[in-house]
Structure 1
Amino acid sequence: IAEQYGLQTYSDLQRVNGQLVFGAEYDFFERQDGYDKLCDTYDLSFRSTSDMDMGLKYQAINSGKIDIMPVNTTDGQLAQADVTVLKDDKGMYPSYQCGIVVRQEILDKYPELVPALQKLDRILTEADMQKMNYEVETEKKEPADVAKAFLKKKGLIKGGAR
């Protein structure tokens, strides 16, 4: 669909207003930052909508039952899906990236935390998270084992117990 209509951004969806089927988890249609905000911000309309279980939306898009869906860029299935992630060109969604927050009094008391925490800065990318989520969700690997393998690969831990 993205290639067929040359879609790269959310704004590009205006060219196909009223033509596509939008699918999402039921709560996306209820959330403040969900369906209504998307349609209002980008002046969008869809031929129809379908609410579905989160685990089924990738099956639905791959089988052609829906044309467009919201994703988390760290979804495990996204790593294997034949989809195009459109750019939120109006910045409607805030960044949901995680960060570490430590009170200054703790850092003053335990200054050795500073270099340890700095090793974690920017170590995890969306692609890394997609891959690890895929290993847990689809390949059914243990989360602790997947995390341990990642930390070993990054040189933050050596072998041994969990």
Structure 2
Amino acid sequence: MIASQLTFGAEYDFFEREDGYDALCKTYNYQFKATMDMDIGLKYQAINQGQVDVMTIFTTDGQLSNDQIVVLEDDQHFYPSYLCGNVVRSEVLKDHPELKKVLNQLAYKIDDLQMAKMNDLVESQGKEPREVARNYLKEINLLKE
């Protein structure tokens, strides 16, 4: 298997977690040549410089939208889905019931690639999160000014 020729990189806590490195290797029957602890902010630099060959990522990482990185499918469903959602206190909805309809309009409107692109605008291009969100809502016709 090719994993034995590759260096795996992740944040230090991934190697300590019950659902981390050991569990991943067991699930996929991987045995990597080496491992490297990485700072979360330096992982894309590490892979681009060849310090690691494989790394953990979030599919909404801003840098992922710009890099030539292949995201492998988790066909063993090792990781649970981390789809985002809106959380609103019940008393707020009681006082403002119209919010439920408005917030439900966002359901399934942002996929991982779109979120990664928006994160990149904020992280790499210095855009304000509020501006990025506003532009996206205009683009999908949920906000009119």
With normalisation by structure 2, the TM-score equals 0.88
Q: Structure 2 unaligned segments of length 5 or more: list them.
A: none
Deviations 1:21-44 (A, max 9, x none): 001111211222211110121121
Question: What displacement does 1:99 show?
Answer: 2.1
Aligned pairs, number: 145
Q: Which runs of 4+ in 1 moved over 4 A?
A: 101-111
Q: Structure 1 unaligned segments of length 5 or more: list them.
A: 1-14
Deviations 1:60-104 (A, max 9, x none): 111211110011000000001111111111111000111235688
Report 1:58-69 matches (<5 A).
58-69=44-55
Distance (whole Å) between structure 1 residues aligned to residue 57 and residue 24 of structure 2: 13
Partner of 1:25: 11
Q: Does 1:51 align with 2:37?
A: yes
Partner of 1:7: none
Distance 1:108 1:52, change over 3 A: closer
Distance (whole Å) between structure 2 residues aligned to residue 17 and residue 117 of structure 1: 43
- The partner residue of 2:115 within 110, 126, 129 is 129
Partner of 1:38: 24
With normalisation by structure 1, the TM-score equals 0.79
Q: Does 1:97 align with 2:83?
A: yes
- The partner residue of 1:146 within 112, 132, 145 is 132
